[in-house]
Amino acid sequence: MARHAFSRELRLLTPAQFKNVFDNPVRAASPHITLLAKPNGLEHPRLGLAVPKKALKRAVWRNRVKRVARESFRLKQHKLPAVDIVVIAKKGIGDVPNDELFELMEKLWRTLSRRCKSSA
């Protein structure tokens, strides 16, 4: 069985890593969330999260969205191409229940994978 972890090497950590993704990315979007991706030259995907206060005022609400995004990535990382991904939350995401948020993330991971393979 594949090892499902979210170790330090699977995270975007520095502002330079985030900036690289924001420069000419491949996009997958919904009304509540946007995924930006860019090839990273590694053998695995990496994840960065951007959940602004403007989208969700309370820290507990932001943390819930980040927790769901991390868990979804952790389970799907083995099916994703070697790209750096930034998840950006938009206004209204706080109204989406966890199960629907998981389904939305699943759909966006598939879309992103397809678009990254076609742009390569």
pLDDT tens string 17-36: 999 999 989 999 999 999 99
Q: With a threshold of 0.85, does the pTM exceed it?
A: yes
Q: Retrieve residue 97's tokens.
A: 């229940």
Task: Quote the pLDDT of residue 118.
Answer: 76
Q: Output the pLDDT for position 48.
A: 95
3-state secondary structure of 57: coil
Task: Tell me the H-state helices in 13-97.
Answer: 15-22, 59-76
**38 vs 116, residue with greater confidence:** 38
| pLDDT band of 7, cuts 50, 70, 90 | confident
Given a cut of 70, whether residue 15 has pLDDT beyond it is yes
pLDDT in tens, 48-92: 999 999 999 999 999 999 999 999 999 998 888 899 999 999 998
Contacting residues for 50 by C-beta, under 8 A, at least 6 apart = 18, 86, 87, 88, 89
Interior/surface letters 98-111, b for 16+ CB within 10 angstroms, e for the rest? eeebbebbeebbeb
Residue 90 pLDDT = 93
pLDDT of residue 3: 65
Residue given tokens 């939350």 in the structure block: 89
| Predicted local confidence at residue 9, as pLDDT | 85
Nearest partner of 68 among 112, 118, 106, judged by Cα:
106
Distance (Å, whole) CA 15 – CA 50: 12
pLDDT attached to residue 120 = 61
